[in-house]
Structure 1
Amino acid sequence: MSPIFKAALIQLAPEPLNPTSNFHRASQFIREASAQGADLAVLPEYHLTGWVADSNALTTHALDWETWIQKYQSLARELHINIVPGTIVQADSSFKSTCDSTKPGSLNQPSLLNVSTFISDKGEILGTYTKINLWHPERPHLTPSSLSTPHTVLATPLGPVGILICWDLAFPEAFRALVQQGAKIIIIPTFWTASDCMVEGLRLNPKAEALFVESALTVRAFENTCCVVFVNAGGNDDDGPMGLSQVAMPFVGKVKGSFEGNEEGLRVVEVDTEILEEAERHYKVREDMGREDWHYGYSHGRK
């Protein structure tokens, strides 16, 4: 496996509740990424529907989640590219058989899960992750992953990969749970807006959320000697998703070619994973976590 791969950051600006149009634009970006030699294409959280705080509207589309996953599998096979199709809201598997799917609010509301999937360049599903740390407006509408279901590292053609989603970035414990299993690359589909800190935060610093994201990504890359692939939604609305999609690495910080703004578009970023090995040789974070006398409640490479 080459230590260098190309990651395509697809900063899509989704049309609310229009998955057909959003998929069409996403697939065009993926085709362009493949033509530029990308090995991995990553889309934002909620890229098919945008974030809409309406359980019935989300349910209507969540019942059809398998259709979109299959479309991405076909695209991955055709283009020989690994794809993380952001997140797709899924209704629990038992719901279709117990209610009229044309009337999502007619019976008991299904559990809605915010799920990210890793699809290999052969079109195979290598694993999924369901968001654990829901952002406050999501909580009335979505069900978090059970805390009894641990973060899991996926064996992929790019190496050991972990997936987190958006607000998970705020929790270093999530990264440690993946790093202790050997994750070298952590992918984070996101729908993060410039106004998430509300009026009080904006009054103190109009760019507070950008500061949060840029700082946290850099710190997570350094403190875990890992590569972080962060892909946010874009758009022209100052109150909407703020973009800043990027690859963050130890030593380097934001890798050249990453987004600086919130414009919709595609960036193909070259990632040299040898930097991770050099960072570990320098900082020895993983080595320390693997010691028998490691003094925190988690470890790397030890049960």
Structure 2
Amino acid sequence: MDPVAASPPALPSNPPIAALVQMTSSIDPAVNLATIDRAMADAAARGAVMAFLPEMSLLLDRDRERSATHILREADSPWPAALQDMALRHGLWLHSGSMPLLSDDGGRRVNRSHVIAADGSIRARYDKIHMFDVTLPSGESWAESAAYAGGDALTVVDTPLGQLGLTICYDLRFPELFRALVDRGAEIIAVPAAFTVSTGEAHWHILLRARAIETGCHVVAAAQSGTHADGRATYGHSLAVDPWGGLVAEAVEDADYSLALAPVARDALERARQAIPLARSRSVRAVTL
């Protein structure tokens, strides 16, 4: 019996606002940067304190030869500095979603997120750990590890919304990663994504709500959407989910970008964790598999 399930946590008034930026990123980084700049101006005007971009916000191109001209080591890439400038100009914290960069040794690519403060400083980085190597029932086949190296470090960073844990897209399917982030203090978890249409229709809402419920965290997931210049199609439906599993915001489809505003209420997190004390229950009895 689950006597508390019918009593979701109440939200306080005027919590800080997260802006989820849904995009249809192209093979032209300049176009994507211009879209991000407009979206950040919109988010700031509407009272957000932090904006979240989707996976591969700066460049979405499955043609490895064509994209190679844009993908550099972070120290040589103009993209982080451009986003830092936007954060400073708009007075917003920014989660970059992710961008493709070369590893420091130049040997392989990495799929990297940045968290940038409103003063323009980079506060955290995260390289996607789990590579999307799948063959789907739809016939789509993806081998991310053929070009990308997976990361090996967990990241939790302090932001105006709380302690933010970082993941990217396919990481969503590995609940042990989310639990490890909570063990390191995460209160809100970012899941920037470029989900395929078939997997999105089947699993996107379910997985995001499950990760929020089982961690007692807010989950914010800015997503790619629509048909892209490289020929792929992505699912969209950028979501913000509260720690009780309730949908707080969902983006609508848009050809340029779509903005979803989500309150991130500290009170909701505290109430959910008090109602179902997962951390305490886990510590009472060790589970051996």
- Where 1:235 maps in the other structure, the secondary structure is strand
Measured against aligned partners, the alpha-carbon deviations of 1:83-106 in whole angstroms (never above 9, x if no partner) come to 0111111112233xxxxxxxxxxx
1:72-91 paired onto structure 2 within 5 Å: 72-91=83-102
Hey, what does 2:251 align to over in structure 1? Answer: 259
1:53-132 paired onto structure 2 within 5 Å: 53-54=63-64, 56-63=65-72, 65=74, 66-95=77-106, 110-132=107-129
Aligned residues: 262
1:145-164 paired onto structure 2 within 5 Å: 145-146=151-152, 149=153, 151-164=154-167
Hey, what does 1:171 align to over in structure 2? Answer: 174
Hey, what does 1:14 align to over in structure 2? Answer: 25
Q: Tell me how far apart the structure 2 counterparts of residues 253 and 261 of structure 1 sit (CA, whole Å).
A: 21
Does 1:28 find its partner at 2:38?
A: yes
Runs of 5+ unmatched residues, structure 2: 1-12, 134-141
Q: Deviation of residue 59 (structure 1)?
A: 2.9
Q: Tell me how far apart the structure 2 counterparts of residues 285 and 57 of structure 1 sit (CA, whole Å).
A: 47
Measured against aligned partners, the alpha-carbon deviations of 1:113-166 in whole angstroms (never above 9, x if no partner) come to 0000111111111111100111112121111113xx3x1211223221101000
Does 1:288 find its partner at 2:285?
A: no
Question: Which residue type is aligned with residue 69 of structure 2?
Answer: T
Q: Tell me how far apart the structure 2 counterparts of residues 188 and 253 of structure 1 sit (CA, whole Å).
A: 16
Residue 222 of structure 2, aligned match among 220, 231, 238:
231
- Where 2:112 maps in the other structure, the secondary structure is strand
1:189-208 paired onto structure 2 within 5 Å: 189-195=192-198, 197=199
Hey, what does 1:43 align to over in structure 2? Answer: 53
**Identity in percent:** 29
Deviates more, 1:151-160 or 1:56-65: 56-65
Does 1:211 find its partner at 2:217?
A: no
Q: Deviation of residue 266 (structure 1)?
A: 1.3
Does 1:143 find its partner at 2:140?
A: no
Partners of 2:49 and 2:160 within 8 A in 1? no
Q: Deviation of residue 210 (structure 1)?
A: 2.1
Partners of 1:63 and 1:91 within 8 A in 2? yes
Q: Tell me how far apart the structure 2 counterparts of residues 261 and 211 of structure 1 sit (CA, whole Å).
A: 18
Q: Deviation of residue 239 (structure 1)?
A: 6.3
Q: Deviation of residue 52 (structure 1)?
A: 1.1
After TM superposition, the runs of 4+ consecutive aligned structure 1 residues lying more than 6 A away are none
Runs of 5+ unmatched residues, structure 1: 96-109, 198-208, 298-303
The alignment's C-alpha RMSD in Å is 2.1
Q: Tell me how far apart the structure 2 counterparts of residues 218 and 159 of structure 1 sit (CA, whole Å).
A: 19
- Where 2:78 maps in the other structure, the secondary structure is helix
